[in-house]
Amino acid sequence: MELYTPLVKIKKDNTPILFLAGSIQTGDDNWRTIIINELTNYNVKIINPQTENYENNIKQQTLWELDAMETASIIAMYFASNNYSPISLFEFGLFVKTKKLIVCCENDFWKKDYINIICEKYGIKNYKNIQKFISNIKIMLKVK
């Protein structure tokens, strides 16, 4: 596993690239850390866009994230119940038709019904808990 953080140039080869999009959370038990730890032994490049310095380079960070999502083989998008996630909702709309998305939407997320309807319409896998989400990301990585 190779981990890419904001503004680092992503090396392209045949290795699957997983972009971790979604709600911002902090602490050692946040969803991004859990996924990264679960995929340590996988042949994958993981892009984690979360940074403490987002406001310092907002234009550069935003363009880097959009380019990284376009480059990614899989976009794992997580909607946490305690977060409004307006940027994530925007990114969800941008990439909904790409066939790259896999979604985890917690039951208490404020726009859960919207996410569920869109996922159903466009055939996007949508999970309610992180363990099933991770299991299916692992399956997708083996197929890529």
* pLDDT per residue as tens, the chain (144 positions): 999 999 999 999 999 999 999 998 876 679 999 999 999 999 999 999 987 666 678 899 999 999 999 999 999 999 999 899 999 999 999 999 999 999 999 999 999 999 999 999 999 999 999 999 999 999 999 875
pTM of full prediction above 0.85: yes
Tell me which residue has tokens 């890529």. Answer: 144
- CA-to-CA dists, residue 141 to 55, 111, 134, angstroms: 32, 28, 10
3-state class of 28 per DSSP?
Answer: coil
Tell me which residue has tokens 């850390």. Answer: 33
Instruction: Name the DSSP letter for residue 114.
Output: H
> Can you say whether the dihedral through the CA atoms of 122, 128, 130, 134 is positive or negative?
negative
